Amino acid sequence: MKILITGGNGQLGQELQHLLTERGITDFDAADVEKLDITDEASVESYFATNKPEIVYHCAAYTAVDKAEGEGKAVNEAVNAKGAEIIAKACAKYDATLVYPSTDYIFEGNLTEGEYMPDAPTGPKNEYGRTKLLGEQAVKKYCPKHYIVRTAWVYGKYGHNFVYTMLNLAKTHDKLTVVNDQVGRPTWTRTLAEFITYLIDNQIAYGVYQCCDDGKCSWYEFAKEILKDKNVEVLPVSSDEYPTAAFRPHYSVMHLAKETGFEFPMWQDALHEFMSEL
């Protein structure tokens, strides 16, 4: 099967390449923006006509959540909304299966307990969530053979993320403050990469799925676990002390797609395995 990974130089794109290579799969093309501009319809058409991918992991995304509220608003719209529409149409035209990673930010963010089910009401309160929801809608509208996979709090080996930030801060600080009133589910990119390939490999029914590591925690609890072997004090604070340009929900725990048969690791186990590889 010919595989296209858009956003090949991103955090998930690189993890996916590593996983496929590990499995002996080499017939994939990891395309960065220089090879494939997903916001340019002519460029995408030319690529698909020439290469005819059968599976498309659409990992390309604009993920600067706070910048999307201001200076990055136009790019956010072009990449996450229009880009997803262009890719979805191309996949439909060339009969490719599309895997579209999305986000917990597409929800209203009003829950205080329980889990967001895949069919829960949407109502994003930041620009990133709004455009990712538009991307979801385009995928559903234009590409029958699709998997939409929502995730949250992503970290991994490749790229900038919360785990690296905490580890780096611990090198120069003996005390750190981390918000304790935002609760969610961390996601190791390895878990996400394994899940989206699992959907394809096991011919799971097309539709919307949600993938994070199991369990839940606050950012403070996440930081405590990351730094438990470091000589640094971690203190809980309110998110009011760290105002951000983009709205972030206080509770965004999503229901996991365990009905697929995929085994989601506990977030602590995933974190420990990741850190053991650093």
258 within 8 A of 175, measured Cβ to Cβ: no
- Whether 47 is catalytic: no
- Whole-number Å distance between alpha carbons of 223 and 167: 9
Residue type, 234: V
Contact (CB, 8 A) for 184 and 104: yes
Kindly name the residue from 100, 105, 116, 128 that is annotated as catalytic.
Answer: 128
Could you give the CA distance from residue 191 to residue 257 in angstroms, rounded to a whole number? 13
Handedness of CA 157, 106, 42, 1 (dihedral sign): positive
Q: Which two tokens stand for residue 14?
A: 């690189």
The dihedral over CA atoms of 195, 197, 198, 202, expressed in degrees to the nearest 10, equals 160
Q: Render 2-63 in DSSP notation, one character per residue.
A: -EEEESTTSHHHHHHHHHHHHTT---EEEE-TTT--TT-HHHHHHHHHHH--SEEEE-----
Q: Which residues are part of the catalytic machinery?
A: 128
